[in-house]
Every structure is written in C-alpha cells, then in structure tokens.
Amino acid sequence: MKPGHVMIGALMVGAGALAALWLPLGLMGSLALLALLRICWIEDNITSDLFGRDTLPSGYVQTLERRQRFMRQWFGVDRAAVLPDQSAHLMATTLRAEAQLWGAYLLGFTSMICGQHGPFDSVVNALLAVGMMVLAFSRVDRLAVTLHHCDIGQPLPDAMLLPPLRRSHHRLR
C-alpha cells in the first residue's frame, strides 16, 4: 500500500467534517442524503450487475466507450487500451472504492453534525462525534486496501467485495 491511499481516505473524512462545520444545517442534510443515495446506487450496481460475472454488461461497456470518446475529445486523453477490456470484478472493485470514499466522507460529515447539533448534552455530543470520527478513520484502512487493488489492476476478493450476508443473498437468487 502507498501512504497516499491512506491520505486520500483521511482527506475525505476531513473534507466531510469541514463541510459540516461550514454549511447550514438544511444543506448538510441534503448533501448527506445525496451521498447516501449514491452509496446505495453503487451497492445495487455491484450486487445486481457486476458480482459473479466475468464480463461487463453491455450498458457498462457503452458507458465506458462514451466516457472514452469524451475524454479523448475534450482532454486529449486516450485510454482505449485500458477501459473496454476491463472485467466485471475490476469494475466492481472500482465502484467499491467510490462507495468507500463516499462512506468516509459521510462518516466525517455525520460526526461533525452530531458534535454540533446532537440532541444530547455538549459533552455527550462531543463523545459521540469522537466515536464516529474513530469509526470514520477505521474505514480509511479498508479504502486504502481497495485503492491498492485498483492501482495494481487486481480485483478485490469476493469476501472483501460483498459482505457475507449479501453474498449469501446473492446465491439464493
């Protein structure tokens, strides 16, 4: 693992905490809801479309091709050799990294919301915020492992890609 992987996760937690300190409460709730919806959408894509497949579904391939044309046309970046041949498990690993980034951001965000606007006494709110911040930084380790797998182009093992309960539910379908 690279130290930059841990730093990316720590910066996401810090960005979430700083956003919660500066933004109005109503906007904070809206942003937290958007982040949660994005995480749920990613989890559904991993579970329903990508887990257990060897090749990417056609919709994903078409999206990658459009993204590739956009990058080539607007930025001059040609990633033709890398993207279309990507496996479904590697795409699921990439999406898992994005979900973990959003999760780290959301936990940092939520810890500051609890610290500032929690329903308890200020001491209890501060302890709750510290506990949630510890939880957020414990998620950074998982994110660093996932980013390492993305860097070396290797998909995550099934045990790390889906939680055990979701894997057993996936087999029942």
For the chain, the domains span 3-172
Under a CB-based contact definition with an 8 Å cutoff, are residues 137 and 130 in contact? no
Distance, CA of 1 to CA of 129 (rounded, Å) = 29
**Mapping DSSP to helix (H, G, I), strand (E, B) and coil, where does residue 7 land?**
helix
37 pLDDT band (50/70/90 cuts)? Answer: very high
Model confidence pLDDT, tens digit, residues 109-150: 999 998 988 888 999 999 999 999 999 998 898 899 999 998
**Mapping DSSP to helix (H, G, I), strand (E, B) and coil, where does residue 78 land?**
coil
pTM of the model: 0.82
